[in-house]
């Protein structure tokens, strides 16, 4: 089994790779984690992870600059039904459009736009930076045995925009930050988290483990 972490010049790949390696070590089935910018390797991988930090348009540009990467990812996920995990902007790219500074097309895997969060409490700062609990919207294998809800575990967020999904059925969990913030989306064989599982200590590693075990 191989897990491809897509390297397109964005984000802290080192942290994501180390977290997936750590989680993979606890699996019964050995899984090889590789960081790659080779579309063929991504196409052949059993699982695909798309990290991303920074601005939506920059990340999209970076991804497009790797020849054949988006096609390889799309075909692996949409045709070959490979499990996919988008992290932060990697999750936002799954949307129809991003509206950070400029309007940019996403993959349109999850219908909806990526919009600026607007907490109703004016004391809440932007970015939404720090630890928040998650409220379950829809059960999903990747959320198995994870303590959610107001007394559950916390996830680490750093963002000013979120994916406002058109279909409620695509949302797995939300956080509250002066209003609802989309925290986890999931559709078919793809999931995405707005927060950083690779920075969310044990909770994040448990989520990554669930993803590595998931057989959709």
Partner 1 sequence: MFKVRVIPCLDVKDGRVVKGVNFVDLRDAGDPVEAAIAYDAAGADELCFLDITATHENRGTMLDVVRRTAEACFMPLTVGGGVRTIDDIKTLLRSGADKVSINSAAVANREFVKRAAEKFGEQCIVVAIDAKRVKRGGGSDRWEIFTHGGRNSTGIDAIEYAQEVVSLGAGEILLTSMDRDGTRQGFDLPLTQAIADSVPVPVIASGGVGNLDHLVDGIRQGHATAVLAASIFHFGEFTIRQAKEHMVRAGLPMRLDP
Is 28 marked active-site? no
By C-alpha distance, which of 180, 185, 124, 181 is closest to 157? 181
Q: How far is the CB of 170 from partner 1 (least distance, A)?
A: 24
Interface of this chain with partner 1, residues 57 to 86, rule: CB under 8 A: 58
- What is the H or E stretch that residue 213 is in? helix 201-213
In angstroms, the CA 39 to CA 153 distance is 36
Nearer to partner 1, 89 or 110 (CB): 89
In angstroms, the CA 110 to CA 210 distance is 21
DSSP 111-156: EEEEEE---SSTTS-SSEEEEEE-EESS--GGGTT---STTS-EEE
Interaction of residue 14 with partner 1, rule CB under 8 A: yes
Given 140, 159, 162, 196, the catalytic residue = 196
Task: Name, in order, each residue with C-beta under 8 angstroms of 130's C-beta and a sequence gap of 6 or more.
Answer: 156, 157
Instruction: Pick the stretch among 18-26, 43-51, 61-69, 77-85 that binds partner 1 (CB under 8 A).
Output: 18-26
Instruction: Pick the stretch among 27-35, 41-49, 149-157, 165-173 that binds partner 1 (CB under 8 A).
Output: 149-157
Q: Which of 29, 120, 150, 168 binds partner 1 (CB under 8 A)?
A: 150
Given 59, 88, 140, 159, the catalytic residue = 88
Is 196 marked active-site? yes
In angstroms, the CA 19 to CA 71 distance is 26
Q: How far is the CB of 195 from partner 1 (least distance, A)?
A: 11
Q: How far is the CB of 73 from partner 1 (least distance, A)?
A: 22
Q: How far is the CB of 66 from partner 1 (least distance, A)?
A: 17
Nearer to partner 1, 156 or 214 (CB): 156
CA 79 vs CA 21, 112, 169: distances in Å: 26, 21, 21
Interface of this chain with partner 1, residues 122 to 141, rule: CB under 8 A: 123-133
Q: Check residue 142 and give left, alpha or beta (phi > 0: left; psi -120 to 50: alpha).
A: alpha
Geometric angle at alpha carbon 34, from 29 and 36, rounded to 5°: 150
31, two tokens: 């899984």
Interaction of residue 49 with partner 1, rule CB under 8 A: no
Chain residues binding partner 1 by CB under 8 A are 12, 14-15, 18-19, 22, 53-55, 58, 123-133, 150, 153-154, 156, 158-160, 175-177, 196, 198-205
Residues classed as catalytic? 88, 196, 198
């Amino acid at each position: 089994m191989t897990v491809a972490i897509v390297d397109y010049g964005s984000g802290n790949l080192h942290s994501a790779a180390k977290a997936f390696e750590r989680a993979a070590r606890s699996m019964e089935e050995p899984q090889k984690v590789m960081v790659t910018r080779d579309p063929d390797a991504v196409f052949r991988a059993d699982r695909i992870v798309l990290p991303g930090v920074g601005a939506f348009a920059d990340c999209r540009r970076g991804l497009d600059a790797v020849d054949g990467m988006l096609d390889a990812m799309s075909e692996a996920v949409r045709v070959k039904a490979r499990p996919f995990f988008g992290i932060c902007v990697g999750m936002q790219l799954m949307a129809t459009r991003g509206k950070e500074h400029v309007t940019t097309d996403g993959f349109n895997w999850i219908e909806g736009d990526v919009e600026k969060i607007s907490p109703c409490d004016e004391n809440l700062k932007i970015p939404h930076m720090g630890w928040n609990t998650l409220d379950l919207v829809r059960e999903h294998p990747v959320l198995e045995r994870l303590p959610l809800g107001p007394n559950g575990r916390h996830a680490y967020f750093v963002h000013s925009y979120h994916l406002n999904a058109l279909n409620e059925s695509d949302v797995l969990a939300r956080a509250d930050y002066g209003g609802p913030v989309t925290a986890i989306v999931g559709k078919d064989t793809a999931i995405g988290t707005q927060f950083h599982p690779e920075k969310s200590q044990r909770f994040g590693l448990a989520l990554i483990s669930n993803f590595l075990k998931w057989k959709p």
